[in-house]
Amino acid sequence: MNANSSRQSPAEWEESAPLLPQSARDLPTGRHQFHKERLMAHIQREQHNMTAAATPATEVREATTTRRFRLPRPAIALPAMALALAGAVVVGAAVYNGGGSGSGTSGTSNVATGPALTTDIGTGTTKGVPQLLDQISLAAAEGGHPDVEPGQYIYIASRTADTYVKTVDDKSTLVSEKPYLRQTWMSADGTEGWLIDPTSERPDGEPLSGPDEQGNALKPGINHPTYDFLAGLTTDPDELLKLIYNETKGQGNSPDQQAFSTIGDLLGESYPPAELYAALFKAAAKIPGVIMVDDAVDAAGRHGVAVARVDSAGGTREEWIFDKKTHAFLGERVVQVKGASGDDGLIKPGTVTFVSAIVTRAVVDDMKQPPSQAG
């Protein structure tokens, strides 16, 4: 995919005071479930890398420059093993990067990297946002989603890529992955899940389910959304948005940005019931600072119109990309639009720090079974 063809930029910036320290504010907001899965894959790589800390030409990925290795939102309860190993990840980072927040990867990634993805920033506007979200909501309601029965699984295939700082022999460069296919399965109640991700040390896949740090089953919630939980939520946009603000209070860089990102979480790697799916867009229209971007490109190279919001604390713009004709959700993109971040400020305005594309969403009867194998 070549993201250079996009032309967009924010028309306005948030002016609310940041709620987190600078180290946290530099992190682009993102989807919690996505990051939980990617953190687990990262921890598995880290177990291998910790035994090779002295290996020359070590590659270092900065946590402040990539969505994949960023810790999830504070409210997310990670499986106990993940939390137990998280400290080791930080210690390893200090060895590799002089106390920074990166983590060594020492050539273990199974995804080829190339020049950093960039885009012309262009312009964005608040004009027409309510009308666009209303059209998207109507399309979502008409499209319908199948019900997920007990014993069934939500299957999602997506293409995704990160941009990160790679350090070899003390020389840092900014690189991007080639978009690759990742697949997830999750049961309706959230107790069973599976991830296949080529960046993992386990190419055959790894479980997504697990207990929290106290060994208890994860409790469904807005930050751990199972299908059954989503099916029970209100579809009134005002009540839904109020719930999101309440459940994410104190998280993220500002309440409005966190609410926007939380809705983005639910769009990307979950499969909300049709009525809730439509209500999410109506709720998003009520968040201050939401803008429209005329042209954005997903990880599959598809052009669309984006609903976006700028996180002024980190200078990033989170974009939800929709087909211009059908208004179907295509994917997501995060663009650095203000300031510079990352090691030596390598992530400059116009850098695409993360991009994804939804390839398939379906309901299947067996875990690890793609829809094409359903019988």
- What's the pLDDT score for residue 213? 67
Say what the pLDDT of residue 57 is: 38
pLDDT of residue 344 exceeding 90, the answer is no
pLDDT number for residue 123: 84
- The answer on pLDDT for 12 being more than 70 is no
Q: What is the predicted pLDDT for the residue at 214?
A: 73
Confidence of residue 269 (pLDDT cuts 50, 70, 90): confident
The pTM of the full predicted model, rounded to 2 decimals, is: 0.73
Model confidence at 19, pLDDT cuts 50, 70, 90, reads very low
**Does residue 316 have a pLDDT over 90?**
yes
Band the pLDDT of 75: cuts 50, 70, 90: very low
Q: What token pair was written down for 192?
A: 């069973």
Query: Does position 247 have pLDDT exceeding 90, yes or no?
Result: yes
For the chain, give the mean pLDDT: 74
The reported pLDDT for the residue numbered 240 is 98
Higher-pLDDT residue of 317 and 16 is: 317
pLDDT confidence tier of residue 129, bands split at 50, 70 and 90: very high
pLDDT of 261 higher than 60: yes
Report the pLDDT averaged over residues 248-277.
93
Considering 45-49, 87-91, 254-258, the range whose residues carry the highest mean pLDDT is 254-258
At 121 the pLDDT is: 84
Question: Any bridge partners for residue 332, and if so which?
Answer: 320, 356
pLDDT classification of 23: cutoffs 50, 70, 90? very low
171-183, pLDDT tens digit by residue?
899 999 999 999 9
For the residues 61-70, what does the mean pLDDT come to?
A: 32
Q: What is the pLDDT of residues 181-234, one digit of tens each?
A: 999 999 999 989 999 999 887 878 999 876 666 777 778 899 889 999 999 999
362 phi, psi to nearest 5 deg: -155, 170
pLDDT > 80? residue 363: yes
